[in-house]
Structure 1
């Protein structure tokens, strides 16, 4: 039975374990490097500068049919979409081999394997939050202010996190039995980059094609995060409630599927 209490209960029950494993996972990314964890700040800053230079100064790109934006603002528009795509793709690409890379935990009967997916998510979310902070600081530098709608950031993260965790639980379970799924997710995340309104607004697409781009789970989140962080617009409450409900269902469905298939993990691995 699909129950959101199972999802949240798993997170709360194993919060200390998830925290410790997430911390270790984050630090392991930068272990041995001279700058260490400072790379988590340096990398998004360099990417923001790169987007500003390439798309604004080299390609002199415009945002759809709207009047030309200041070059720096155009970079913020692109950067917002890339943060969300990177967060989603990082989790999605690690999911298929998550159990294979943690075989020692799979062999332990009492270990909460579903916690490993939370670890993957929080590790990627740590980097995303730093990127969001840099985005907000850049917005203040460029425009001289930051809109109050930025306070809606945590509210939008809730359904996005539920969606990611649900999809990743499903893919992690499938990846144990079908190893080819890792290649599929790699291709899928690349396709999603161009099938999402990262480099273009939905408004420039013909009306008959817009329904397809809205089937992409990233579309809603990219547009709404861009609205609150860049344009200073509040999310539509009705659409938010619908998306939140769907994301909760996805997380619950993914959790149930993972728990029902985990019994065979040890035998396969």
Structure 2
């Protein structure tokens, strides 16, 4: 039986683990699943006040949608980023948090990371559903045309985050410092991605500096950030309501493919050692 056949035979386990992640995350809370909405909404209120009122950050109206609402613009980038952060964090800790199960019985350990990503993806889909409703209220039915493409990019970002989570889950078993380093890195990455500010600010700053070496500019280096490509694609689809640029689409496809293949390969190479290291 090949590894993928083994994973397929464990699909019921994957479903049950995902269900446990979804229901267990907010178990014995009064608001339950609503907590998954309150975090991005609270962040949105703070960032909207700071960046649109104090710093007067104005990304301008959507092109060609004409939507001109900073809080909507912010959510179009904030929700994908928070999903990415949650998926990476939960995937990275999936082996450690289930160490008792890993040491007791054999099953494909990959399912632990996959279930964590799937649970984060479920919460993200609920949040994105609320965002679509807000877009329908503010900008009309135009967003519905692009929903199939939005779902495609959501799947690509889920695959990308899962691949990274698989790699970090292995590293985290070997080095417990990983979770602390990644926590810092994710906080920095948010401000190195166009979540609370428009991409044009980076472009203008880059033009003011000029080439760093050869013809390479600060903007070229900035756009190597995979998260930036995904956020740009979501903003184009949801806020501007047009198809993403071809290079953004190709980069998102490439990042998803490379990270999931690399993540599965690294995890598979180390899977048999995980129980001994815990």
Fold match (TM-score > 0.5): yes
Which deviates the most, 234-243 or 144-153?
234-243
Task: Give yes or no for the alignment of 1:131 onto 2:127.
Answer: yes
Work out which of the residue numbers 172, 179, 182 in structure 2 matches 1:182: 179
Q: Deviations over 1:101-148 (max 9, x none)?
A: 111222145211101111111111112111111111111212233331
- TM-aligned CA deviation for residue 233 of structure 1: 1.2
Q: Deviations over 1:49-85 (max 9, x none)?
A: 5555554445543127999xx9962111111211111
Spell out the pairing of 1:1-269 with structure 2 (5 A cutoff). 12-45=8-41, 47-48=43-44, 51-57=47-53, 59-63=55-59, 73-108=69-104, 110-147=106-143, 148-205=145-202, 206-207=206-207, 208-237=217-246, 239-269=248-278
Which deviates the most, 58-67 or 15-24?
58-67
CA RMSD between the two structures: 2.8
Alpha-carbon contact 2:40-2:78 (below 8 Å) kept: no
Structure 2 unaligned runs (5+)? 208-216
TM-score by length of 1: 0.86
Tell me the SS of whatever aligns to 1:99: helix
Structure 1 unaligned runs (5+)? none
* Cα distance between partner residues in 1 of 2:33 and 2:155: 26
- TM-aligned CA deviation for residue 238 of structure 1: 5.5
* Cα distance between partner residues in 1 of 2:114 and 2:79: 19
TM-score by length of 2: 0.83
Which deviates the most, 224-233 or 144-153?
144-153
Alpha-carbon contact 2:230-2:248 (below 8 Å) kept: no
* Cα distance between partner residues in 1 of 2:269 and 2:23: 32
Which deviates the most, 152-161 or 232-241?
232-241
* Cα distance between partner residues in 2 of 1:116 and 1:98: 6
Which deviates the most, 211-220 or 201-210?
201-210
Distance change in 2, residues 1:204/1:57 (3 Å)? closer
- Counting matched residue pairs gives 263
